[in-house]
Structure 1
């Protein structure tokens, strides 16, 4: 059994129109939501190494999660160039190549790839859209990542910033 944790980067800023997409940071809401999501996830999960898109907004989301979930800060998070993708196919192939010793994998990435991945792995339309800073946990009925296939997963939990009860 494998577990896949997916988190879409927090709300990005469009305040600098000439900035290349990978360089965009977070807007005010994104800077607020990332620590809130970190605190909420800390109540439910043990700290995990995160695999993160190199996009600045994804990196800043990871930093924000660490603010709200301090136990994450000391872990050796991994920036992976392949995670700067909007394609479910690229993300799917990336997952299939993971080391089988990894029982749980936490990815901070981008839409539409994340939403489409949830729907493909559950074999149904489980999500309309994983919103910014939204989290989805999938329980996958497989022993090896190379066995990843449509319908092998169950959406075990979603956590969205707008539904958080702070405190």
Structure 2
């Protein structure tokens, strides 16, 4: 059994329009959301063997705040290809980095994260697929499980969508 966590970065700050997109930080709502997801991650029951994070500042800050909130000390690899990645690129990253682990987390951006989750989810717990199709907001965490021996076997519709956390709903 392989498990893939897809984390979309939390809400970013647009107040400094002079910054290039890659260098935007989180706003206060994003900081709070990332910490909340970090606290809730303990409910997942299984931590990632490896985290692959976009090099964009807001993605790295999302991961840092999540890890701080849960007191996690995960193995993290920064990957510039996750910035603006297409579903095909994300899938190639899963195949590459997943070779040596059972549980993998990717921290990235939309539309790629939402699109790859939709493409990989062949089945889902009741109600989750509809929510995923509706919207993957900033700070959302998607969990997909695969009944395969290696991440090399991850293909379209091969996963089971088992969890979908959205910060706004977790705060309610």
TM-score (norm: length of structure 2): 0.87
Q: Distance in 2 between matches of 1:165 and 1:133?
A: 12
Q: Which position in structure 2 is the counterpart of 1:106?
A: 105
Q: Which position in structure 2 is the counterpart of 1:147?
A: 153
Q: Which position in structure 2 is the counterpart of 1:63?
A: 64
Q: Which position in structure 1 is the counterpart of 2:166?
A: 160
**What whole-Å deviation, never above 9, does each CA across 1:21-69 have from its counterpart, x for those lacking one?**
1100011110111111100112333443421111000011011102210
CA RMSD of aligned residues (A): 1.9
Contact 2:47 2:103 in 1 (8 A): no
Contact 1:100 1:143 in 2 (8 A): no
SS of corresponding position for 2:4: strand
Against the structure 1 CA distance between its residues 147 and 7, is the aligned structure 2 distance closer, same or farther, given a 3 Å change threshold?
Answer: same
Contact 1:11 1:27 in 2 (8 A): yes
Contact 1:85 1:91 in 2 (8 A): no
State how many pairs are aligned: 164
SS of corresponding position for 2:99: coil
Pairing 1:59-138 to 2, within 5 Å after superposition: 59-70=60-71, 72=72, 74-123=73-122, 126=129, 127=132, 128-138=134-144
Normalized per residue, the structure richer in strand is 2
Q: Distance in 2 between matches of 1:97 and 1:148?
A: 11
Q: CA deviation at 1:165?
A: 5.3
Q: Distance in 2 between matches of 1:20 and 1:36?
A: 27
- Listed as ranges, the gaps of 5+ residues in structure 1 are none
Against the structure 1 CA distance between its residues 99 and 118, is the aligned structure 2 distance closer, same or farther, given a 3 Å change threshold?
Answer: closer
Q: CA deviation at 1:83?
A: 1.6
Q: Distance in 1 between matches of 2:171 and 2:57?
A: 27
- Listed as ranges, the gaps of 5+ residues in structure 2 are none
TM-score (norm: length of structure 1): 0.89
